[in-house]
Structure 1
């Protein structure tokens, strides 16, 4: 009788996710440094003829950003405290305190970002290009459906595991952990909002951006009340999908404006299209009559759509792998029959 052979794990080694983010941050930091120290083209960018994003567009974009990120923060926060029932109801207070602290920290982050921009004001038009570039990078990550399927789901799952662990413990350590749980549920979204809004603030000033922030916060508050009142009756996934489409619109606008700024600085070439894009499309959608700006917007749209289909393909492949592992076809007769 043959001895059973030891099983060898043939699964491919996974690339460390932390290393991926570290490489991405290093690459982004390097590009920002190159932009800050790069020379500009022969045309003075402050005198270059370029479209101006309308006041209404800046307000709408700011409102969309705040509403979308606020909605995601509310959904995560609601999911975290949903099980705080019965004897655990009083333990919601530290979580709520942590969420409130995150909101305050987001406001502080806004002033810190403004101080950094003031210190970098000597960069002139380069600063708008840099803030636009950073906002686009983060927006591409936020709108990457593969990241949503793999990373954001694990982020929410981590909150759930931490919540269960804290509910099973007591003492000052558990209270501090609950405060941290509420803080991390909200602050990431607040940080993203601050980052996105810097480019809009440079374009049309703080007052215009605050108009959009007020509208976005009002919409988030209304939906938040509905979420906590109706709980599972709201179509969370569809709501996030809708707001994702809206943020996709903001992404297209930011890419068009940032690409045009790069052209004004002489960092990318300018080739006029044989057709003329109406002026109002430049004011509202940052669409201009050059192949580079329009091409950048098209590529961004393809990236977002491609990431969605990649995520769906990965999900289908994973489902098939699990089903094949659960029902493996026999390749030999049972042992007792083989020994007869």
Structure 2
């Protein structure tokens, strides 16, 4: 059927094709989604046949693009490999860089090791996943999308919690009161687990996808393994460089600005993860698909993956709702609550003055 054709066949061609022609890749993906919708709606056979003809034509074009003689050219193998590891690792670098810099600025260096514990556990889990996927079982397309959706939703939930935890401490006075009252020490166990879980989910989510992408690429890059390896190494070096640049710049920021940056990065990525999770659920038909192609601009596929913005009604609504929650809560915490506290403080002072 249309879903299995996409998940178990075309999605593997999509990986190298995305590096060559991202717009064409996204066009074919939405053609498959349209076909699934038409079949569900039981439209006339002629209408379905027109879409199938278009898909077949684009599948032939996909094959022509990625396999002149059945293998990828060295430059494409290198570019595809670099693009996979850099794009998959970029979100992890942004999150972990912001969190570790924040811990340093708030003089809580002792908790950084728990971030690293989570990262090491994620690397170990990724290695185990690679062994299982390569030698023990074959992870089907539908199961792969489901696992990615669950990981994205989990990351959204953890980032949502961390973002508001940071937002509540954005005022320097409140942070100092928080430290002096030793609430942090009183909740050490819970906070430590949040750091471990956040770093683990962040890295493993990307690691899981990376394993599957490189497995798929190996089928298209026969005799080009050295270029795939070089792309991976250059991508990792680029990510490490970006991480250290973030750390260095972050140390120069005032505490309030750093808290705001940490909250902003967490909010942005949680919204992006949420959009990507809904899209994964649409691919396996758990969430309905209502296309908006031609109504809203279609982003480049790599930009769409980084923002979670896709031309479907369901992903847009989900992201707007989460963005609305952030805006309302931020307005309350940063504007409304301080005004109320100021009013209460003024009332207490006036009462004290009148009593005297």
Range of TM-score over shorter length: 0.5 to 0.7
How far apart are the structure 2 equivalents of 1:185 and 1:46?
33
Can you give the 5+ residue segments of structure 1 that lack an aligned partner in the other structure? 1-39, 83-91, 167-177
- State the Cα deviation string for residues 3-42 of structure 1 (Å, max 9, x = none): xxxxxxxxxxxxxxxxxxxxxxxxxxxxxxxxxxxxx987
How far apart are the structure 1 equivalents of 2:266 and 2:183?
30
Point out the structure with max Rg over C-alpha: 1
Residues 163, 263 of structure 2: 8 Å contact kept: no
1:193 to 183, 192, 202: 202
Cα drift, residue 309 of structure 1: 1.6
Cα drift, residue 214 of structure 1: 3.9
Residues 260, 293 of structure 1: 8 Å contact kept: no
Q: Hey, what does 2:223 align to over in structure 1?
A: none
- State the Cα deviation string for residues 234-290 of structure 1 (Å, max 9, x = none): 942454366457636853773475145324xxx344555564999983465259xxx
Q: Equivalent residues in 2 for 1:67-78 (5 A)?
A: 67-78=93-104
How far apart are the structure 1 equivalents of 2:152 and 2:190?
28
Q: Secondary structure of the residue that 1:81 maps to in structure 2?
A: coil
Task: Tell me if 1:319 matches 2:327.
Answer: no
1:285 to 304, 309, 312: 304
Task: Tell me if 1:219 matches 2:230.
Answer: no
TM-score, with structure 1 as normaliser? 0.55
How far apart are the structure 1 equivalents of 2:163 and 2:2?
39
Cα drift, residue 305 of structure 1: 1.9
Task: Tell me if 1:134 matches 2:150.
Answer: yes
How far apart are the structure 1 equivalents of 2:317 and 2:287?
16
More helix by share: 2
- State the Cα deviation string for residues 204-251 of structure 1 (Å, max 9, x = none): 2286777655433321212323445x4649942454366457636853
Can you give the 5+ residue segments of structure 2 that lack an aligned partner in the other structure? 20-79, 216-228
The 10-residue stretch of structure 1 (152-161 or 242-251) with the greater mean CA deviation from structure 2: 152-161
Task: Tell me if 1:148 matches 2:163.
Answer: yes
Equivalent pairs counted in the alignment come to 262
Q: Which has the higher contact order (CA 8 A, sep 6+)?
A: 1
Q: Equivalent residues in 2 for 1:99-110 (5 A)?
A: 99-100=112-113, 102-103=115-116, 106-110=119-123
Residues 152, 273 of structure 2: 8 Å contact kept: yes
Task: Tell me if 1:294 matches 2:312.
Answer: yes
Residues 132, 258 of structure 1: 8 Å contact kept: yes
How far apart are the structure 2 equivalents of 1:219 and 1:311?
31
1:205 to 202, 206, 214: 214
Q: Hey, what does 2:124 align to over in structure 1?
A: 111
Change in Cα spacing, 1:285 to 1:188, as seen in structure 2 (3 Å) is same
Q: Secondary structure of the residue that 2:300 maps to in structure 1?
A: helix
Q: Equivalent residues in 2 for 1:245-264 (5 A)?
A: 247=269, 250-251=272-273, 254-255=276-277, 257-263=279-285
